[in-house]
Amino acid sequence: LGHITRPDFPILHQEVNGSRLVYLDNAATSQKPTAVLNALQNYYEAYNSNVHRGIHYLSARATDEYELARKKVAAFINASDSREIVFTKNATEAINLVAYSWGLSNLKPEDEVILTIAEHHSAIVPWQLVAQKTGAILKFASLNQDEAPDVDNLRQMFSRKTKIVVVHHVSNTLASVLPIEEIVLWAHDVGAKVLVDACQSVPHMVVNVQSLNVDFLVASSHKMCGPTGVGFLYGKSELLSAMPPFLGGGEMISDVFLDHSTYAEPPSRFEAGTPAIGEAIGLGAAIDYLSRLGMQKIHDYEIELAKYLYESLLSVPNIHVYGPAPSENVDRAALCSFNIENIHPTDIATFLDQQHGVAIRSGHHCAQPLHRHLGVNASARASLHFYNTKEDVDDFIQALNDTVNFFNSFK
């Protein structure tokens, strides 16, 4: 799949610091195929206009394409109704929307919000802020001996006090995949809702919100070959309809009086002001592109490449790769966070970039509590997408060995 799709991504065909670019930072953001770039350009060239309010051809066309993009998102994750899709700025804003709109209206003192220690700051911090305002309590499931979130520990934390469970589908650091369907069953058994942070799963596998039966799910366009500036919240209709607005402004109202206003139905209720119109249309083009390739085909390809990356990394001396080892019944997502003894991850990433044109990430990946739990304050991370190839992995490993030799030569 890598060789077939690479021609669609102009950015990949360049040299960086005198070497072929090897882009392995896809968990941070993905690259964009020409089809997405063309959709954006076509919008701005042919029918740029504001949506929902104009009464002229350009506005009608822009509105149709914007609402078509919503329908594409709904179909992509198998939502039962496109009105269950709210466009946001990114996944972070989508989680904040649920935390403030649903959380402030439903959480009271001593209620519990259950997360795992592997959650991204975008999942943790909004609920910390809302817990401070409501008196709710955050609880975190730990890791098991395989460095994966401890699902048994998570389940044991559920009780009648549990009001919402906020968990990743795929960890952006451990590459572990949570059993969402089961977690939803356990959560619903105690009357709790479930919000799934699907940033690292929607771009890489089939996600079916109806079969998962999640209450809320969030993702970001820029991680799934779409533009930055747009993401989405999926919410069950009955939940969104019962939620108060998150942001006030134009578009989200029905009538405005001096002393009060009435609000539009979802999704408009949660889309105040002029939305990221071109970007949403670009996301629709990204979904068309991914759908043409097939998410199952993408997933199968990436899982194999992820295994190759994992095995290849283990050949590097004194390396520790975080997260569970891939096995018959344990799929690792297409990313590896790692540390190498006595070499700082930022030195590794810098050397790889400057000497070899290899782009990986170094830092805490917005998962500081997880890194503290792992006993480190940072890690290096290589993350793949379907347009990466075995040659990318081989070039990365060769460059990594060169990096290790370079830094060890000072000892």
Ligand X SMILES: Cc1ncc(COP(=O)(O)O)c(CN[C@@H](CS)C(=O)O)c1O
Measured from the CB atom, the residue of 147 and 197 that comes closer to ligand X is 197
Peptide bond into 266 cis (omega under 30): no
Question: Which of 199, 225, 336, 366 is flagged as catalytic?
Answer: 366
> How many of the other CB atoms lie within 10 Å of CB of 314?
13
d(CA 80, CA 90): 22
Among the listed residues 104, 206, 316, 366, the single contact to ligand X using CB under 6 A: 366
Geometric angle at alpha carbon 59, from 58 and 64, rounded to 5°:
100
What's the rounded Cα separation, in Å, for the pair 155 and 216? 19
Burial of 70 (0-12, 13-18, 19+ CB in 10 A): buried
In angstroms, the CA 218 to CA 201 distance is: 10
CB of 335 to ligand X, least distance (A): 8
Rounded to 5 degrees, what are φ and ψ at 136? -70, 165
Q: Is 70 in the site for ligand X (CB under 6 A)?
A: no
**How far apart are the C-alpha atoms of 362 and 345, rounded to whole Å?**
6
Q: How many other C-beta atoms can be found within 10 angstroms of the C-beta atom of residue 384?
A: 27
**Least distance between ligand X and beta carbon 108 (Å):** 27
Contact 156, 179 (CB under 8 A): no
- Tell me how far, at minimum, the Cβ of 241 lies from ligand X, in Å: 25
Interface with ligand X includes 116 (CB under 6 A)?
no
Those residues whose C-beta lies under 8 Å from the C-beta of residue 277, and which sit 6 or more positions away, are 43, 48, 50, 51, 62, 66
Residue 172 interacting with ligand X (CB under 6 A): yes
User: For ligand X, which residue of 8, 111, 147, 197 counts as binding (CB under 6 A)?
Assistant: 197
Q: Give me the least distance between CB of 41 and ligand X, in Å please.
A: 23
The region of 37-45, 48-56, 126-134, 197-205 touching ligand X under the rule CB under 6 A is 197-205
Size of the site for ligand X (CB under 6 A): 18
- Minimum CB distance to ligand X smaller for 47 or for 223: 223
* Pair of tokens at residue 182: 């089961």
* Out of 22, 69, 115, 199, the residue judged to bind ligand X by CB under 6 A: 199
Using rule CB under 6 A, residue 379 touches ligand X: no
x/- map, 74-103, ligand X, by CB under 6 A = ----------------xxx-----------
- The yes-or-no answer on residue 366 being catalytic is yes
- Site map (CB under 6 A) of ligand X, residues 225-254, x = contact: ------x-----------------------
**Nearest CA to 286 among 91, 38, 26?**
38
- Of 68-76, 127-135, 239-247, 360-368, the segment contacting ligand X by CB under 6 A is 360-368
Measured CA distances, 243 to 154, 239, 240, 256, 266 (Å): 27, 6, 5, 19, 9
Q: Interacting stretch for ligand X, rule CB under 6 A, among 7-15, 235-243, 305-313, 359-367?
A: 359-367
> Rounded to an integer, what distance in angstroms lies between the CA atom of residue 406 and that of residue 400?
10
Nearer to ligand X (CB atom), residue 63 or residue 168? 168
Q: Which is nearer to ligand X, 33 or 227 (CB)?
A: 227
Nearer to ligand X, 25 or 392 (CB): 25
| Site membership for ligand X, residue 220 (CB under 6 A) | yes
Least distance in angstroms from the C-beta of 55 to ligand X: 34
Give the dihedral of Cα atoms 178, 182, 188, 189; nearest 10 deg. Answer: -130
Report the nearest approach of ligand X to the CB of residue 200 (Å). 5
Q: How many CB atoms lie within 10 A of CB 7?
A: 12
Alpha-carbon dihedral 103, 104, 109, 114, rounded to 10 degrees: 20
Single residue of 70, 72, 120, 193 touching ligand X by CB under 6 A: 120
For ligand X, the binding residue among 30, 101, 122, 176 (CB under 6 A) is: 122
Smallest distance, ligand X to C-beta of residue 303, A:
18
Which positions ≥6 away from 126 have C-beta within 8 Å? Answer: 92, 95, 96, 99, 100, 103
* Residues belonging to the active site: 366
Binding site for ligand X (CB under 6 A): 27-28, 90-92, 120, 122, 168, 172, 197, 199-200, 220, 222, 231, 361, 365-366
